[in-house]
Structures are given as C-alpha cells and as structure tokens.
Amino acid sequence: MSDRDPVAELGPFSDSDADATPWPTALRELHQARLFWLSTVRPDGRPHVTPLLAVWTGGALYFATGDQERKARNLHGNHHCVMTTGTNVLDGLDLTIEGRAELVRDPTERSTTADAYEGKYGDLLTSPDGTWYGLGDTIRSGKVQLYRIDPEVGFAFGKGKAYSQTRYRFQRWPSEQR
C-alpha cells in the first residue's frame, strides 16, 4: 500500500469548532513517534499490551519481536491488532492504527524496513553503546520476526484548544495487494 491519503472523517465526539486531522499531519506523527504500544489478544481472549519500537514505511507499520514473545504467540492465533502512539498529556495528537499483522519473509522488504529502523532510531541501533545495537542486522538476517500491519482503519485524537476525533478509512487497491 502506498502513502495514499485515506478517507478522513470527523467523529461525532469532536468539539463543534474542531476540524478533522489531515492525514499528512497524522502521517508525520507516525514517522516521528519514538514509542508505540501494540495491543493483541491472548488465546483465552484477554488483551495484551506492550511498548515497542516501530516504523511507518511503504504505507504500513512494522515492528520486530522474538518468536517466543507473548505478542508473537498471540499473533500466531489472531492476526488482528492495534498499534497506538501519542502523548501522555492533554495536548497534542494520539493515533491508533488497526489492522492485521502479517509476518514478513521477503528479504528485500526486511532490508528496506531495517534501513528505516536505523534511519529513525540512529545510534540506538547502530552504535555499539546503543540500547538495541544490531537490531537492523537481526531484522535483515531473519533472526527476529518482522511483522507488517497493513492499516484497515485509524483514528487521530486531537487534544488541546479543540478536541477532535478523526477516523481514517484505508482503501486497498487491487494493484497494491501484497
């Protein structure tokens, strides 16, 4: 999927003077966000939420995990998930992207995504003193699971002077099917 603008609709819980958050604004936040929260569902139906690093590239969100981590085990049985990012204050923009997490096996896609991780997180991944040093190479080599979330629906929650709830509906075009 490309970064084609999804359909944006202002939600009914928005202030009367609020405007829908334009997709380019939400997209900029997705590119710049440093921390995300992934919500998955355990086999018994209970939710599981965990913080992680993620990148938006090529019209999708990507994250990496070990194959025995709870999120990976949850996604093995139920691919539906929600990725969230934003602020913990009552000003700014919070975003959620809902979709299906699909395991990425294609070496080219893995390499492109590793490059995006290194470009975004820099020394944290590329410096020997970095917290996640070597993650890019681990993604490229396939020693860690890489997931792609193709967005189905998203929400932007604008906070501050005017509160807004924007819903984004993503369209999949036949030529963009993976």
Q: Beta strands of 47-163 (E only): which ranges?
A: 47-52, 55-57, 60-65, 80-85, 92-103, 145-159
pLDDT tens string 120-158: 999 988 999 989 889 999 999 999 999 999 999 999 999
CA-to-CA separations, 42 to 15, 22, 145, in angstroms, rounded: 36, 34, 18
- Using a cut of 0.85, tell me whether the model's pTM lies above it: yes
Q: CA 36 to CA 45: how far, in whole Å?
A: 22
Q: What is the pLDDT of residues 43-73, one digit of tens each?
A: 999 999 999 999 999 999 999 999 999 999 9
Q: 31: which 2 tokens?
A: 């590119």
